[in-house]
């Protein structure tokens, strides 16, 4: 079950060691309103953006579905590309291929049929 946005905000405020009074002042709200925000399951996007700026945290990323996060990662929005060369035994290669076959990211890359097509270059050990 996904946490309520208010709970996530509360955790981030606590992690920042910011006093509730200071946080309330930073977002132009009364202290009593902050406790109401902590209980919310939804929130205005402009307010959430402002809270994120104050706490230096992207709450919108927390609200993305896993499939959306995977798509963004594949578009290069959330990851960096790098190429590694690895020597693998036949057994290790089978494990790698099995892992790639079952990867949730694989469904977004129909070209990924083997390790080389996925951008992995493996040299087998003898």
Domains and CATH numbers, the chain: 5-62 (1.10.260.40), 66-124 (no CATH)
Q: What is the pLDDT of residue 86?
A: 74
Q: Which long-range contacts (CB under 8 A, 24 or more apart) does 88-95 make?
A: 88/122, 88/123, 88/124, 88/125, 89/124, 89/125, 90/124, 93/122, 93/124
Q: Over the stretch 12-70, which tens digit does the pLDDT of each residue have?
A: 999 999 999 999 999 999 999 999 999 999 999 999 999 999 999 988 887 877 787 77
Q: Over the stretch 56-113, which tens digit does the pLDDT of each residue have?
A: 998 888 787 778 777 777 665 445 566 777 788 888 888 877 777 766 655 544 444 4
């Amino acid at each position: 079950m996904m946490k309520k946005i208010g709970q996530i905000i509360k955790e981030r405020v606590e992690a920042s060691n910011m006093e509730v009074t200071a946080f309330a002042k930073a977002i132009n709200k009364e202290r009593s309103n902050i406790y109401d925000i902590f209980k919310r399951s939804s929130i205005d996007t402009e307010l959430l953006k402002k809270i994120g700026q104050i706490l230096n945290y992207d709450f919108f990323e927390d609200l993305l579905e896993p499939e959306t996060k995977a798509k963004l990662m594949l578009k290069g929005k959330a990851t960096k590309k790098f190429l590694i060369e690895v020597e693998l035994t036949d057994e290790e290669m089978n494990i790698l291929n099995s892992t790639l076959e079952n990867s949730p990211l694989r469904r977004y890359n129909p070209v990924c049929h083997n390790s080389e097509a996925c951008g992995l270059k493996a040299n087998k050990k003898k």
